[in-house]
Amino acid sequence: MKVVVIGSGYVGLVTGCCLAEAGNQVVCVDHDAGKVAALRAGRLPFHEPGLDELLAAQLQAGRLSFETSIARAMRHAAVAFLAVGTPSQTNGSANLENLLHCVHELADTAFEDCVIVVKSTVPIGTGDHIEKLLNAKHGAAAGQPRVRVASNPEFLAEGRAIRDFRHPSRIVVGANDEGSAQALAELYAPFVERGASLMFMDRRSAEFAKYACNAMLAARISMVNELAGLAGSLGAGMEAVCRVLKSDPRIGAGYLQPGAGYGGSCLPKDLRALIRSAQEAGEPAYMLRSVQRVNRLQGRKLFDAIRDHFGGGLRQRRIAIWGLSFKPGTDDVRSAPSLALIHALLGAGATVSAYDPVAMNAARAALGDTATVFGESALNVCEEADALVLMTEWEEFKAPDFEAVAARLRGGVVFDARGIYRPGLLRRHGLQCHRLGERPAG
Ligand code: UGA
């Protein structure tokens, strides 16, 4: 099948590469000529495990190409995905400017019987709006068939996107007409053969399902973070409590890891957009607002714990940070709890030395000209630091040489924001370990 993917960002590239791998002829489009040139040469603009190899293999096989022009790409397309970013606006709503720009370009393009599929996360009703916009122009042009728009939200998680795309837990297709449902069923047939289930529904339900999933995931994280804080205050151990929670099949085992709060380019943005939609619909959205509030507080709690450890003042203190990306496996630092912590630490007069195995350049760009020092290695940033804060659970931080850490860390205290260290083990190395939501073991 000839497939066009408009928007060669994270979702678009993963979609394009994986659909090419499944045997389709794929053209990915991006308006950024520099990016297109780099992609044609097999260079990715971000880090995602396995994607560079997949990109190279599909380019080599001649199943994948890149274009700057939607009109050129659309020739003979059977399915065209819209996969451009929908970032937050200041009022929380999704910014559809880039998406609508592409839609207008599509409206000016003559194409044959092609299903337009919205993969970007968009407010409920956006598919209806796009269909109207396209048909206002296309319907008018003589001999052009009516344009059909479907919704096919993406559930990829960064760091394991290829695996998620190849083996999805489900594929959601929101289609208000039989033809587009059939086209997507055909496109995804190889994935269904491998065990994925296709879930058909109307377009608005599919758009909403995407927000509902991210809202539910965010709610679990805020709930477990609140429970962890409570457990700490009441003298209970959250790790044991989590084991009990996870053993209940009605609760399920995923997304119950307490931490520094959820970050990234999706959960915070989608929560904001859903709350904005609720507001417009006159719904109070009490739960969603609380989820967001608890998440904001969680980052603050970590900062307070560090400040309180040093008797309320951080001036002249040097704090080492391990991990900058919002989670392991990615160089994405958007809404990363580490950046909020760094800003708070610097604001309180501390100095910060940070290290991350892949996200250092992204963090440098995001932090601008703050006084953060970036080290060459995990041990290097501990040198003469008063405290170490573990922010991202990268593999290389899981079992470090604590002897070497203790020898460098003059303050001898570790704040474990991800709950991965055994306080007893650290104690044996002369290190004090604070875990979020737990009383200091002393
Ligand atoms: C999330 C969803 O998991 C995907 O299904 C969805 O497709 C994607 O958003 C999207 O909308 O595009 P992602 O942002 O890549 O994916 O990250 P997650 O793996 O969900 O992690 C989000 C945040 O929650 C991270 O900061 C992570 O550290 C935190 N988290 C996750 C916890 O604090 N505890 C947990 O138990 C799980």
For 367-414, what is each residue's pLDDT tens digit? 998 889 999 999 999 999 999 999 999 999 999 999 999 999 998 999
Q: Determine whether the annotation assigns residue 334 to a binding site.
A: yes
Q: What is the reported pLDDT for 409? A: 96
| Backbone dihedral angles phi then psi of residue 201, each to the nearest 5 degrees | -160, 180
Residue 180, token pair as written in the block: 């587009």
CA 404 – CA 79 distance, rounded (Å): 56
Residue 313, token pair as written in the block: 């003042």
Among 176, 201, 226, residue at a domain's last position: 201
Reduce the DSSP state of residue 385 to 3 states and report it: coil
CA 412 – CA 423 distance, rounded (Å): 13
- The single-letter DSSP state of residue 387 is E
Q: Whose CA is nearest to atom 29 of ligand 1?
A: 262
Residue 67, token pair as written in the block: 């274009």
Whether 140 has a pLDDT exceeding 80, the answer reads no
Quick one: 151 and 49 in the same domain? yes
Q: What is the reported pLDDT for 324? A: 98
- The single-letter DSSP state of residue 208 is H
Closest atom of ligand 1 relative to the 155 alpha carbon: 7
Please report which confidence band the pLDDT of residue 141 belongs to, taking 50, 70 and 90 as the band edges: low
Pick the catalytic residue from 28, 102, 266, 433: 266
Quick one: 117 and 252 in the same domain? no
pLDDT cut 90: percent of the chain above it: 91
ipTM of this model? Answer: 0.97
Quick one: 275 and 286 in the same domain? yes
* Inter-residue contact 413 to 387 (CB < 8 Å): yes
Quick one: 36 and 175 in the same domain? yes
Q: Whose CA is nearest to atom 10 of ligand 1?
A: 266
Q: Structure pTM?
A: 0.94
Quick one: 45 and 100 in the same domain? yes
Range of the domain at 370: 202-442
Quick one: 176 and 208 in the same domain? no
CATH of residue 427: 3.40.50.720
Quick one: 233 and 219 in the same domain? yes
Quick one: 230 and 184 in the same domain? no
Quick one: 191 and 231 in the same domain? no
Quick one: 135 and 220 in the same domain? no
Quick one: 176 and 219 in the same domain? no
Can you tell me which residue has the tokens 């002829």? 25
* Inter-residue contact 162 to 54 (CB < 8 Å): yes
Residue 217, ligand 1, Cβ within 6 A: yes
Quick one: 184 and 265 in the same domain? no
Question: Smallest Cα–Cα separation from 2: which of 84, 56, 72, 98?
Answer: 72
Q: What is the reported pLDDT for 435? A: 86
Can you tell me which residue has the tokens 């603009």? 45
Number of domains forming the structure of the chain: 2
Once rounded to an integer, what is the mean pLDDT over residues 115-134? 96
Pairing verdict, β 413-416 and 432-435: parallel
Residue 153, ligand 1, Cβ within 6 A: no
Q: What is the reported pLDDT for 369? A: 81
Q: Which range has the worst mean pLDDT, 108-112, 177-181, 358-362? A: 108-112
Please report which confidence band the pLDDT of residue 142 belongs to, taking 50, 70 and 90 as the band edges: low
In whole numbers, what is the pLDDT of the chain averaged over residues? 94
Among 148, 180, 201, residue at a domain's last position: 201
Can you tell me which residue has the tokens 């994935």? 191
Residue 259, ligand 1, Cβ within 6 A: yes
Whether 16 has a pLDDT exceeding 90, the answer reads yes
Among 201, 222, 244, residue at a domain's last position: 201
| pLDDT tens digits along 223-248 | 999 999 999 999 999 999 999 999 99
Residue 245, ligand 1, Cβ within 6 A: no
Closest atom of ligand 1 relative to the 330 alpha carbon: 15
CA 231 – CA 311 distance, rounded (Å): 23
Q: Is 266 one of the annotated active-site residues of the chain?
A: yes
Query: Rg of the chain over CA atoms, in angstroms?
Result: 24
